[in-house]
Amino acid sequence: MPIVDWDRYFLSVMPFSTHNYLKGNPEIVITEVNYLRHLYRETFRYTSAWSMQIGKRYEDIYQDFVRDLIGKKSKSPRWKDCSSATTNRMAYAAGSLYVRNFFNKEAKKTTMDMIDDLQEAFSAMLVQNDWMDQGTKKVAQEKASAMLRLIGYPDFILDDEELDNWFRDLNVEDTDTYSQMVEKSIRWGINFAYNRLLEPVKRDEFSTNAAVVNAFYSSIKNAIMFPAGILQAPFFDAEFPKSLNYGGIGAVIGHEITHGFDDQGSQFDKDGNLKNWWDGATREKFEERTQCIIDQYAAQIVPGTSGLHLNGKLTQGENIADNGGVKQAYKAYKRYLEKNGAEATIPGLEKYTNDQMFFIGYAQTWCNKMTPEATVRLILTDPHAPGMFRVNVVLQNQPEFSHAFSCPPDAKMNPPKRCVVWQDFFHFIYH
């Protein structure tokens, strides 16, 4: 956009403390060029995000839009909107409240132990891998070993003085209106981000709300992150049988580790640099296997959508991670049993073996119910497949599953052809 005087623009919006940085003509990486090209269209998204702040009339219009978009017929209660706004803009403060009141600190250590098990399982899978050359395999091992772990929460959020210092420049008065509070918090966040340009990158920074029920992998940090919010049922509980914990949070851990080696993460090295570390022939074999995943998911028809198919290309990274994550978690669970002995069956569920409970534990984490509108929107825009496919297609690709449930050769869950990117010795026995 040559009509914009960018130097003048940034000097006007950035804090004075950062002006010398800008005048030094720094090199800027623009990750969203298309955003600038479609700026007019994006203006609508910006104004819709402010709907709750600019009055009931606009909020009602926005709610009509949401109803048509995702089929949500009732508006969220006001307290929930305000709570979400606060936690989004003051994530560390909200995370501190959650951790102090609800998080079992022992879960942090148990999760670290499970990550050890999952990383050992992934390393073993690399050793047994038959399509990677030794040089690429060695670099992959180094990347897996160098993966940073960010678990639970950043320690400073439990220190009142440090937490207050973090928000020291955010000054909100009792007399402020809601929109003024929002505007101040946005301005504070922008100035904070600009001032960070003067500081070195902190690879070990815990950059999300500890109360979030999600998990993350960062390619540029080569780091996995598991906030305290996901270290609870149904994914994890210290009192759960290991079969359920490995099938739950274990598969999530494996999923995030595998992201370091999916279609996108595989383009970055162990230090988070964009670098091709693959042998050419090995890369071709990798892409053959990922194409199998793409085609397999693209063939899936979503119920209740008039024949709409999944977007195999859009979802390939998450699908690779789902498939690899379950395989790693199962392998880690079997290694745990080798070291510690067999588990007792679960009271009331004695008809299921512990291997079967592992897969049931994995499947139940994806139980959900979506409106038809939300389902269509997810398929068209989201890199994640709907939950039913994250269970059924993933487990069709696991020979360990069909073995555990004694599926006959012609069963739907025991197909003659499986798509496998990351495999282990079990795959060769039961494929």
- Buried b / exposed e across 341-359, counting CB within 10 Å, b at 16+? eeeebeeeeeebebbbbbb
The 3-state DSSP class for residue 55 equals coil
Q: Where are the beta strands (DSSP E) in 117-230?
A: 148-152, 216-218, 223-227
**Contact between residue 215 and residue 223 where contact means Cβ atoms under 8 Å apart:** no
Tell me if residue 338 is catalytic.
no
Closest alpha carbon to 236 in 63, 378, 112, 334 = 112
Q: Pick the catalytic residue: 256, 318, 355, 400?
A: 256
Burial of 80 from C-beta contacts in 10 A (0-12 / 13-18 / 19+): exposed
β partners of residue 217: 224
Catalytic residue of the set 322, 355, 400, 424: 322
Pairwise CA distance, residues 53 & 57, whole Å: 11
DSSP SS3 for 148? strand
Can 322 be counted among the known catalytic residues?
yes
For residue 302, the one-letter residue type is: V
User: Catalytic site residues?
Assistant: 256, 322
